[in-house]
Structure 1
Amino acid sequence: MTPAARLSAAIDLIGVIDTQRIPAAQALKEWGSAHRYAGSGDRAAIAGLVWDVLRRRASSAFLMDDDSPRARVLGMLRLERGMDADAIAALCDGSRFAPQPLTDRERAALASRSLDGAPPHVAGDYPDWLDGHLAQAFGEDRVAEAAAMASRAPLDLRVNTLKARRDKVLRSLAHLRAQEAPWSPVGLRIALAADARNPGIQAEEDFIKGAVEVQDEGSQLAALFSAPKPGEQVIDLCAGAGGKTLALAAMMEGKGRLIATDRDKRQLAPIHERLSRAGVHNAEIRAPKGEVDPIADIKASADLVLIDAPCSGTGTWRRNPDAKWRMRPGALEIRVKEQAEVLERAAGLVKRGGRIAYITCSVLPVENGEQVRAFLARHPEFAVVPPEETASVLWDKAEAFAAAALRSDEGWLMTPRRTGTDGFFVSVLRRG
């Protein structure tokens, strides 16, 4: 397919997503099944265009003064890909499979309009109803913070120290231009241009042998700040597919007791194969069976309970750009209730002197600091571990991290703009 044909396909797909109200991933999968002639490179390029349009949905429509699928695609090329009107016009020449030529109005918008005067939620590309929440989190910086959350994320990897050293993996992945991650001592980063394909990391020998896992650096730091020690009893209470379980196991050096569980046993499905590939032998998976609590036998004995809490996912908008447009206030209320419930559950599992690591991939105060303060009001026997103490695991980078991240009395907030990571909140609570 030509670049122009890919652009036409992206316009059609945005129309399908709009009219059928289906997730972008589903629309892309169905399109690929119906267009077998499109090669992997074509599908990847079209997917990149679609995801970028979703990242810049509001601002692109504002730039073009038109909310149609075609207008949003054209506006995205200007805002996200940095193309000028002439370059965009060269793709829209009306030839076979290409979009129709630019109208005078479209060319004028691309050449002269900007986001000056756009409301915050438009300039930052987020739903209007979230403006108050983001203003509470970032104040006047909310547009810049949200714009960074609308950019494309790099590919971050975590080196599995049970099997490999970072310097060795760095050399073996040199052909992918892997670099040391800015903060994590076990992190690697592969930068991706706006139109670049994701490298097939799953086909790399280091991945197949369990030396690396795909994990955003913010998620790596969240696990590091929980500071599990070899020989401890650790519970990953919302383990899901096991990303943080694997990180905990590596920090425990295979020593101690690691229990991974989740209220939804379907989420645990990938964890068994991942643990096997990573060489983890001290992890026990406990899936729920009916109404029986799989960890009912554990009473106030855990050294650490890690909560990767169910949340709005606002911190992962770079990777899931269509999720923000499908998010509704009622869903946020449900997540806040679930967070309070899982914190209550964790409180009964921790021994005296033990810790709860409360983590969200959200930037919203109602899910972060407010949730921690409410928990402390109910449980005065717990206190926040000073954020500087949790960040000390970064050693020589701790001071720079403290200058970059947002610190509160409750913990750390990482954001794409400040730390180059996904948005993560981390609070470590110690029982007195």
Structure 2
Amino acid sequence: MAGTDSVSIFTEGTFEEQILELVNYLARSLAEERATYIQPFQDALTVTEGQKPIAEDLERRRNILTMILKEVKGLGDGSEREIEGFFNLLFSHFLELFPLDSPETKSHLDTLLHTIASSSEQTTTKYRILSNLFNAIPRRSGLRLLVYKTLLQIASENDELELLGLSDTDVENWLQEWEISPEEKSAFLKLLVDAFAKCGEPERSYQFQLSYVRSLPSSSSPAQAAAIDAIAIALRLPSYFNFDELFRLDAVIAAKDHELFSLLHIFLNDGLAEYKAWAESHAGAFSKYELDPSQLQRKIRLLTLATLGFQNIGRDLPYSLIASGLQVEPSQVETWVIDVIRAGLLSGKLSQTTQTLHVTRATARSFEREEWELLGKRLQAWKSGLVGVLEVIAATRKKNTPEPTQANTSASSGVETPVPAAQAAVA
């Protein structure tokens, strides 16, 4: 059982009074049947001679609350504030009376969550009462997963995921805290993947897809399928270029014999010629994985240009070299350079006069031994340049330093010089 770090907050009154408050709320829509509806609860609360007081009878309190849970058919007839108050009181008793790790508790909660989610009332009220329940449940309890799945379901159905304010940090912390199985963690991540994809947020969906792949045993069939899906999503995203991130996943490496893996390898290491060769030999893959050939060709050109820039940082790249690498006319070079700068893959300055691109910054597609060696050479060149600058500064300082005066010469030779009286007193 999870350690309790939540606090149950009750309104004033005894258990009996609070139960009758809940029952009276449920009976609001009734007219003549109201008294008949309330009577069984009053009977259950009555203590006869020889019975323990209700405050000392845990099983009896659980049975009475179970009676109420079975009568919850929706959010009830009340204002938003009254609905929220009813469920807060109900949740408080529920968490107080039922053990959190009990199958019975989970069954009751499943039914209650389904009732709330399927009610026709305003979704904002549902969000509030479910958020209150989520925060009332101890942080380590797996019951939090059930509640948040319901919140996610409601938000996804209404295209309102932004209202949840969900962050990657939240998900990471929850999965570390919740006492749930690895399978349940993976299933929750897959729910997030599907929810964000449905709501038109493919970038967020993709980030959770990576987490989903990491959560699975890398050699398992689900991991292989998830890895291929991740590759396909990354290739489909028009502004995604960090393919090195995929190559660091064991499940992706395990899929090395798949046709999409070879395409991924091209986007990480090769250029347009290799892409065109792959496209010719895998014509059916585009429709199979919903890939856009023209979009992929644009991405491989931008990555090729970024690689050319990385290899020539601090130097001038001729238009002719860029045109050759991208297989375009020299007149199109400036357009492609503007595109790669907008994509954040390169920074530089175009010169129409010299027909060159001066590269000031560029992104490496991957950072392996070759990139480290290139970086080392650049650092050594910068170091040598700084040494030359320091030598020039030292020479300039020496040239501009005045010759020592006679007094300075005497002082440096050890001959004492008179000190004024005022200065001696201060000393």
Query: Does the TM-score normalized on the shorter chain lie above 0.5?
Result: no
When normalised by structure 2's length, the TM-score is: 0.21
Higher strand share: 1
Q: Which has the higher contact order (CA 8 A, sep 6+)?
A: 1
